[in-house]
Amino acid sequence: MLALHDRLLVDCLGDDGCVDDRIRRFSEMDEAAVALFLDRAFFHGVHTVLYRRLREDGLLARMPLSQQERLQKAVMQYSAFYTGLWHDFRKVQGILGDAGIECIALKGMHLCNQVYRRPTDRTMCDIDLMVRRNDLMRASDLLLQSGMVVGESNHKEGEADYCHHLVPIATRCGGSIELHWTLKRDVPLDLDGLWERSETIAADGMEVRVLSPVDQMLHTVLHGVFPHVEVKLRTLLDLHRLVAYHGGRFDWQVLLQRARAWELENSVLLMLGVIRTVFASPVPEAVFSGRMPDSLKQMEAVAIRCIFSEQAAGRNGAYLFFQLLHAGGFRELYSLVSSKIRYPKEVIASMYAVSEDRPAAGLYVLRIRKLVERFFEAFAQVARASVSGNRDLLLLDKDLNRLENWLSVGRGGEDG
């Protein structure tokens, strides 16, 4: 059962529902609970869509003035930030289009302009664009020469061998651009098929190329569970909005077939089960028929517990610490650390926007120093927590590991 503030948050994010129920739940919260309610919305990245619902329901005016101002300020700041992102997006579309480079808008820029009522309802921190692998470096060069970039980014072809996108490009409007060549590495995607199935949508008078509905659903699931589970309500809301928007036109059979091909069947079934429970999303019962009913229900309960855990923010901040904690012996620890360090020196230079002419030893020392800083930040977060807080944090970590082991079935992992 969800806590009162989480239940109200879900009710505000879902479909219209009953305003009287939301008013009743809101009236049961004291000032501390309202503050926690907003804390959760900010953590999950859903405060802008929450703001609109609270205004429509007349609940914003009932909040303590300090919390009203806090929420209004954040929404105004995000609206200004989105205006800059959209300006950058239009400019990038023009630059790449003029050069004959096709691109697909991914994640936030697609979702906010198609399945949300207003673009600012769906928060994002950057612009994700996918281009074909053989256009990747040319697209990067064009953007770096456009005058819209801050600093001296200098992408290298080798970056694509280690990540599904190049190091983000910071822009003068305060945002950043990630140029992708695939959705995720180490996932058996049909890239040619992604491009062939892509569609165009209208967004503020401009044609924007996006993934097909099934591919967008799979990418949203993929982003939420791979390589590690992301405990954010925004991902669930994205999936719920996709299901609601496409409605009866959605081809569930094709989704399941493609999920198996991408080795994502467990992940898709889990996430669809979660949104059906949390948001009452209209996912047909036939989707789940005969597919691991017992273990699926168990893992659905674990996933919901993780997403709404009071320790979710702490676990995210201390992630590197827990990665090292779970290393099973010296060999696994060595492999984990090596995988984070052993990049080509030009890739490390690109990561930290420094000259690749630096001695290789200096670049690797820089990489090690950055990783050590991250580890001690994570360790300090755990050390500052109360005993009961750390106990809950360890329980959440145990749940997440159980969940990730289960999800690894079908991706070549062992059954957890």
Q: Which two tokens stand for residue 202?
A: 């209208």
Residue 220 falls inside a structural domain: no
- Do 89 and 140 sit in the same domain of this protein? yes
Residue 146 falls inside a structural domain: yes
Backbone angles phi, psi at 338, to 5 degrees: -60, -40
Q: What integer pLDDT is reported at residue 361 of this predicted model?
A: 81
Find out whether 123 and 48 touch, Cβ atoms under 8 Å. Answer: yes
Residue 226 falls inside a structural domain: no
Residue 221 falls inside a structural domain: no
- Do 36 and 85 sit in the same domain of this protein? no
Written as one string, the DSSP assignment of 173-185 is TS-EEEEESSS-T
Q: What integer pLDDT is reported at residue 283 of this predicted model?
A: 93
Q: What integer pLDDT is reported at residue 175 of this predicted model?
A: 83
Q: What integer pLDDT is reported at residue 415 of this predicted model?
A: 41
Please, which residues bridge with residue 176 across strands? 170
Written as one string, the DSSP assignment of 160-206 is GGT-SBPPPEEBTTS-EEEEESSS-TTS---HHHHHHH-EEEEETTE
Q: What integer pLDDT is reported at residue 357 of this predicted model?
A: 72
For the entire predicted model, the pTM comes to 0.85
Q: What integer pLDDT is reported at residue 62 of this predicted model?
A: 93
Q: Which of 24, 40, 63 is the last residue of a domain?
A: 63
- Expressed as residue numbers, the domain containing 340 is 312-384
Q: Which of 63, 85, 109 is the last residue of a domain?
A: 63
- Do 91 and 196 sit in the same domain of this protein? yes
- Do 180 and 105 sit in the same domain of this protein? yes
Q: Number of folded domains in the chain? A: 3
- Cα distance between residue 107 and residue 82, in whole Å: 14
- Do 94 and 162 sit in the same domain of this protein? yes
Residue 301 falls inside a structural domain: no
- Do 92 and 176 sit in the same domain of this protein? yes
The burial class, CB within 10 Å (0-12 / 13-18 / 19+), for 265 is: buried
CATH number of the domain where residue 143 is located: 3.30.460.10
Q: How far is CA 150 from CA 80, 84, 142, 146, 295, in A?
A: 19, 14, 14, 11, 49
Q: What integer pLDDT is reported at residue 339 of this predicted model?
A: 67
Q: What integer pLDDT is reported at residue 336 of this predicted model?
A: 61
Mark residue 167 as left, alpha or beta (left: phi above 0; alpha: psi -120 to 50; beta: remaining). Answer: beta
Residue 379 falls inside a structural domain: yes
Q: How far is CA 367 from CA 129, 359, 361, 377, in A?
A: 27, 13, 10, 16
39: three-class secondary structure by DSSP = helix
Amino acid identity of residue 251, one-letter, is D
- Do 57 and 105 sit in the same domain of this protein? no
Q: What integer pLDDT is reported at residue 338 of this predicted model?
A: 72
- Cα distance between residue 112 and residue 81, in whole Å: 14
Per-residue pLDDT of the chain (416 residues; tens, 9 = 90+): 788 999 999 999 987 678 888 999 999 999 999 999 999 999 999 999 999 999 999 999 999 999 999 999 999 999 999 999 999 999 999 999 999 999 999 999 999 999 999 999 999 989 999 999 999 999 998 988 887 776 555 666 677 777 888 878 888 777 889 999 999 988 899 999 999 999 999 998 899 999 999 999 999 999 888 777 877 899 999 999 999 999 878 899 999 999 999 999 999 999 999 999 999 999 998 898 876 667 888 999 999 998 998 877 665 655 556 566 666 666 666 666 676 676 666 667 656 667 767 887 887 788 788 777 766 666 666 666 665 556 777 788 888 888 888 888 756 444 43
- Do 85 and 48 sit in the same domain of this protein? no
Q: Which two tokens stand for residue 268?
A: 């898709």
Q: How far is CA 46 from CA 53, 62, 185, 264, 337, in A?
A: 11, 20, 28, 26, 34
- Do 138 and 47 sit in the same domain of this protein? no
Q: Which of 12, 41, 63 is the last residue of a domain?
A: 63
Q: What integer pLDDT is reported at residue 106 of this predicted model?
A: 96
- Do 316 and 355 sit in the same domain of this protein? yes
- Do 205 and 183 sit in the same domain of this protein? yes
- Do 57 and 97 sit in the same domain of this protein? no
